[in-house]
Structure 1
């Protein structure tokens, strides 16, 4: 007999590891391509009680497994812009693909006259319009797609190659996220007037000038911090990363 799933009342697009009773700031976290909200659901354990950590769950995964994933940036940002709460100041943390999503969402909120995030953390992603890898891969055959992603960034679980059922669940949204990236064209627009910190791993392979180039797209105070590690440096360097986040959001 299966155990009923408790309805927490949380919207499907967000996942919170713990309910905060009296928060004063909300940290929205946006995951990498092929990832999910689970990347950030434990961050609340390492941040002050007055920081409400909201891990964003995009369609096609988790509780949203029955929904079609987005394949274009515009509709994705439009959906999220209608979900961001206005009851608390917000801070955005976006990793890799999530950095582009966080940036474009901040732009959309500013252009709509809504409350802009207090700060943007943009992690492991070249500035808009710049790429470190050429060519489209989202429509490659399964094994070739996984091989290319693994060569570029690492982190592809062995289970995806070993279990066809799991691959059938994950690859549709994994490919969709890459289609968003590969079809994304930044708008010719004024810099987004939000303070920002760009983060990177020293062994990720993204040229430093491509991280510095975020300055051209941002109109607020700007910082750049590098951490030891590869594309997923934020996992082994979690304490150092969250100390930096805490300094802004905590």
Structure 2
């Protein structure tokens, strides 16, 4: 049975960020990454700086796949977008995703409390903040011509994240798997906070690595997703 895995990019990312996932995934797990406006295949569109508008845009993409077997996956900023889209799906009584997979971030009820807001930092401090996250090659971050293109994208995404305010709501009946890196700044309490969002017991896994541990463990992460959605799809059929 084919299952679509709709993938939400991290800050500064695009649908091309998940090319490795597409190469490794088995044929029945179809990786369907999306682009936010202003990057990737949608680079000519205006960037969005409000989380609500990003979610509105992503929701329209997800609705096209909501009649099929599907799951949602997001990393870092993508976890917030995927979570809010899931809330919207449940609210609108659309077919729910089989599973929500989130990596690189604690529950949305836990504020990042980033001060000063990253998107307001000077250029040097802003680039340093990106470097500290890992995941972006130094030769890219140190190249002024390349960064003249990417810096506005990063700033728009961080503005959406840094100004996002959590709104408590009733937990949804969608299972959640949380995966984090041992060396990133996500505590056990922040991981457990995801339990507030679902009526199902969450599953938590930790991997060696920093915030972008996902690229060092693609095979294992894809295998976890594959095995999990295979089980969920059987339950859905029953």
Moved more, 160-169 or 218-227: 160-169
Matches within 5 A, 1:82-231: 82-84=60-62, 85-132=65-112, 134-135=114-115, 136-151=117-132, 153-231=133-211
Report 1:30-109 matches (<5 A).
Answer: 30-84=8-62, 85-109=65-89
Output the CA distance in 1 between the equivalents of 2:213 and 2:103: 10
8 Å contact kept, 2:67–2:95: no
Deviations 1:79-119 (A, max 9, x none): 11112223411111110111111101111111011111110
Give the direction of change, closer, same or farther, for the CA distance of 1:81–1:132 in structure 2 (3 Å limit): closer
- Rounded to whole Å, the distance in 2 between the matches of 1:164 and 1:102 is 32
Q: Give the RMSD, CA atoms, in angstroms.
A: 1.6
Question: Which residue is 2:222 aligned to?
Answer: 242
Instruction: Provide the aligned length of Structure 1 versus Structure 2.
Output: 227
Give the secondary structure class of the aligned counterpart of 2:7: strand
Q: 2:233 maps to which residue?
A: none
For the 8 Å contact 2:195–2:202, the answer to whether it is kept is yes
The 1:148–1:86 alpha-carbon spacing in structure 2 relative to 1, beyond 3 Å, is: closer
What are the equivalent positions in structure 2 for 1:17-32 lying under 5 Å apart?
24-32=2-10
Asked if the contact 1:92–1:121 (Cα under 8 Å) also holds between the matched residues in 2, the reply is yes
- Are the aligned partners of 2:80 and 2:108 in contact in 1 as well (CA < 8 Å)? yes
Aligned 8 A contact 1:120 1:197 in 2? yes
Shift in Å at residue 132 of structure 1?
A: 4.6
Unaligned stretches of 5+ in structure 2?
A: 231-238
Q: Which structure 1 residue ranges, 5 or more long, are not aligned? A: 1-22
Structure with greater helix share of residues: 2
